[in-house]
Structure 1
Amino acid sequence: MSPRRAAVLRDGGDRSLRDHLIATAERMISEQGTAGLTVRGIAREAGVADGVLYNHFTDKEELLAHALRAHVRTVEQGLSALPRPGAGTVAGNLRDYIAYGLEMHRVILPAMAGLLGRPEVLARFATANEPGEDYRDRLLGYLRAERELGRLAPGARVESATAMIVGVCHETVLTLLFGGAPPEPNVDDLVATLLDGLSP
């Protein structure tokens, strides 16, 4: 480990320089969003030379995608835990999933807004997920498990239900991005509409 690297990681425990750079960029995203975020700014905040980033990432877009993924995970850690299959009622659990999704999307909006002109970052962010890790995958997994438990109809189209819920979350965020007043979805109505087609 170089003296410079040792200095910036002195209090970081076992964290690697790559992890340090991701954590630094993630903190900057959470504080100021992604608009105007530069390699030089990230390097200075991390306490390293500009070129060090390219020893650990192909380019700035790769670093930003990983930092954005870390930011989403941090946001999710601050939200209530999602219900488990078989616990409570399906209707109550769906309300919790929808509330979680709406809040998560609202909180990460500032970070995403600065990347509208950077589709390459968003594409890498989308492919950086491990299967089953993101909100959509967890929601779909929950609905599939409830179907297997018999709490949803055997032929319940849980993929379409997942798309509907995620679409409501996206609609709220997209409306805000374009400067409109976000629609306030009636969660009870949405759950009732879903369960009319999903209940055994």
Structure 2
Amino acid sequence: MSPRKAAALRGTDDDRNLRDHLVATAQRLLADQGAPGLTVRAIARAAGVADGVLYNHFPDKDALLAAALGAHVAAAHADLGPLPTPGTATVQENLALYLHAGLALHRAVLPVFAGLLASPSVLTRYAESEAHSDDWRELLARYLRAERDLSRLASDADTAAATAILVGICHDAVLTAMLPGTPHAEVDVDAVVATLLAGIAPHP
């Protein structure tokens, strides 16, 4: 096997394919086993390339892991599918779908982020490389602002606070479930949405 090519990529001269293969391999390892103990050698072996090949595409392991983290977050967002459009169905139904999506997203990504807390360089590079313009939180914030503009929420509704409440519930539910010995409790999505809307629904 050529030291520059993984077996799955033989027959192509496209270095971009090899870079993507390395990112996908690191992404899978991050999701399956976490960051602690994940070495350049382990990533290279799983990718089917020589250790030094990683440095042809990334300055160091942290840069590769940051790219892998970005790919993992993007994949988790893609798995959510389309989210509700302002002005359709009811706000209560739409917010329930947004919260279900947020819980699924956080279950997919928070454990990976937690495993990288001891690698601040990776998290910093991820934050610097990601625009975050189309992540679930921003989409939720836009949705709430649009519904307020459509008068389906109170004209003085604090949509930023409403967004923070729903995001906080996702964090609390997923992080609490990650603590050893903590009883798992499902979030009552309908109750959360009903309580939230009591504060931001249009005034009678």
Q: Give the TM-score taking structure 1 as reference length.
A: 0.85
Does residue 150 of the first structure (1) align with residue 151 of the second (2)? Answer: yes
Contact 2:76 2:109 in 1 (8 A): yes
Report the number of matched residues: 199
8 A contact 2:23–2:68 mirrored in 1: yes
Structure 1 ranges of 4+ moved more than 4 A: 11-15
The alpha carbon displacement at 1:44 in A equals 1.8
Query: Which stretches in structure 1 are left out of the alignment for 5+ residues?
Result: none
Residues 44-96 of structure 1, C-alpha deviation per residue, up to 9 Å, x if partnerless? 22222222222322321221121112112223333343111111111111001
> What is the SS of the residue equivalent to 2:87?
coil
Q: Which residue of 1 aligns with 2:186?
A: 184
1:95-120 Cα shifts (integer Å, max 9, x gaps)? 01111111221233442342232233
- Tell me, yes or no, if the aligned pair for 1:8 and 1:48 is still in contact at 8 Å: no
Report percent identity of matched pairs. 55
Change (3 A) 1:85 1:163: same
- When normalised by structure 2's length, the TM-score is 0.84
Q: CA RMSD in A?
A: 2.5
Asked if residue 174 in structure 1 is aligned to residue 163 in structure 2, the reply is no
SS in 2 for 1:142: helix
- How do residues 112-131 of structure 1 correspond to structure 2 at under 5 angstroms? 112-131=113-132
The CA deviation string for residues 10-51 of structure 1, in whole angstroms up to 9 with x for no partner, is 377964332221111112223333332211111122222222
Work out the CA distance in 2 between the residues paired with 1:31 and 1:13: 30
Q: CA deviation at 1:175?
A: 1.2
Q: Which moved more, 1:87-96 or 1:99-108?
A: 99-108
Structure 2 CA distance for partners of 1:75 and 1:37, relative to 1, 3 Å: same
Deviations 1:111-138 (A, max 9, x none): 2342232233223333332242211111
Structure 1 window deviating more from structure 2 (2-11 vs 97-106): it is 2-11
Q: Which residue of 1 aligns with 2:64?
A: 63
Mapping of 1:1-200 within 5 angstroms? 4-5=4-5, 9-10=9-10, 15-179=16-180, 180-200=182-202
Q: CA deviation at 1:194?
A: 1.6
Task: Kindly state the Cα deviation for residue 7 of structure 1 after the two structures are TM-superposed.
Answer: 5.6
Please, which runs of 5 or more residues in structure 2 have no aligned partner?
none
